[in-house]
Amino acid sequence: MASEFDLIDRYFKRAAPPGMLGVGDDCALFGVPAGMQVATSTDLLIEGRHFFPDVDPRALGHKALAVNVSDLAAMGARPIGCLLGLALPEAREPWLAAFAQGFHAMADQAGCPLIGGDTTGNPGALAISVTVFGAVRPEAALRRDGARVGDDIWVSGTLGDADIAYRLLGGHMPADEALLARTRTALEWPQPRYTLGPALAGVAHAAIDISDGLLQDLGHILKASGVGARLALDAMPVSTALADLPPARVRHAVLAGGDVYELCFTAPPDRADAVRRIGAECGVAVSRIGVVDAGGQLVVLDADGTPLRDLPRGFDHFRSS
Ligand code: ADP
Ligand code: MG
């Protein structure tokens, strides 16, 4: 069997970009442009908890990095590079090759090269830890505490698909091959908004990426900023893949469905045209879904202007129910 070093050389070592030191030494080295700070974030993915054991390894490699790049985007930071920690139950080379292919493709696409990591055998479940580094001007960083009363609330892309695919794959919805085919890409191949996020830095006031559900994640912005919000249900960008589903199911997927990796952000109303222009330049749809207000509540209005009751919440690992 190949040694740990052979595996690293074969699957993870790549030439580092100019000015950086990548895989192969005790540490990686990189700099940040003057006036910028390092933005860094890490995410841990455990088999059976964050992904299905039989998931396509190429998709898993993609997603392991994509969800981290999404955090950089939500901070308004441009990717610099990433680290990968792997605890492998067994070194199956075809699996590793496919995983690495998906990972490096995402790294190349986002300009976030793999510059180091750690690899270990582990008889338990597969665990993947990815750490990303990015650069952002501190005064323009899209922090969660930046929302102001009167801001518009925006969301990129469409909502709901990933939740439906997750339910179909987990057997929580009656099997529907056609619906799964329409929604599965959203769950397994999320596209982090690494161009949109940095473009919004200095324009938007606050941002978050939707990993646990729109209401829950927007709730983090509202809490950190000490504000409330009113959202319009009929302004939500719903994927056309969900057109045939019952409205209650769609509503739940859109408001509470996780694994979306779209950006939810707030911006002053006089920057609405700038936001639309940035969306168009980045090739990402942006929808205005509500406004920030001074109340401490998060209210969703239906098409008649009536507040929805019993709002669904998003995904929370530590909730008992
Ligand atoms: P150390 O003993 O100093 O921790 P390692 O033998 O663990 O070094 O790693 C050797 C080199 O390979 C280091 O540069 C490390 O960053 C890199 N590396 C190890 N595992 C990975 C991985 N999964 N992805 C990318 N780089 C890795
Ligand atoms: Mg090591």
Task: Give residue-wise pLDDT tens across range 142-175.
Answer: 999 999 999 999 999 999 999 999 999 999 999 9
Q: Which of 14, 95, 119, 128 to mutate to test the pocket of ligand 1 (most atoms within 8 A of CB)?
A: 119
196, two tokens: 């949109």
DSSP state of 29: B
Q: Is 9 touching ligand 1 by the criterion CB < 6 Å? A: no
Known binding positions for substrate: 50, 259, 315
CATH code (residue 68): 3.30.1330.10
Q: Is 196 touching ligand 1 by the criterion CB < 6 Å? A: no
Domain holding 252, by residue range, is: 151-301
- pTM for this entry: 0.95
- 193-218 burial, b if ≥16 CB within 10 A, otherwise e? bbbbbbbbbebbbbbbbbbbbbbbbb
Residue 26: pLDDT band with limits 50, 70, 90? very high
pLDDT of amino acid 222: 97
Residue 316: pLDDT band with limits 50, 70, 90? low
Per the listing, tokens 């008889």 go with: 123
Domain identity same for 204 and 158: yes
Task: Let me know if residue 145 belongs to a domain.
Answer: no
- Residue 59 CB partners (closer than 8 Å, separation 6+): 102, 188, 189
pLDDT top residue among 1 and 170:
170
Half-sphere exposure of 77 (CA within 13 A, CB side): 28
pLDDT, tens digit (0-9, with 9 covering 90-100), for 46-94: 999 989 888 999 999 999 999 999 999 999 999 999 999 999 998 789 9
How far is 40 from 244, CA to CA, in rounded Å? 41
Task: Let me know if residue 277 belongs to a domain.
Answer: yes
Q: How many domains does the chain have?
A: 2
Task: Let me know if residue 185 belongs to a domain.
Answer: yes
Of all residues in the chain, what percent carry a pLDDT higher than 70? 97
Across 230-259, average pLDDT? 96
Residue 5: pLDDT band with limits 50, 70, 90? confident
Of all residues in the chain, what percent carry a pLDDT higher than 90? 88
Domain identity same for 168 and 262: yes
Q: Which atom of ligand 1 sits closest to the CA of residue 118?
A: 20
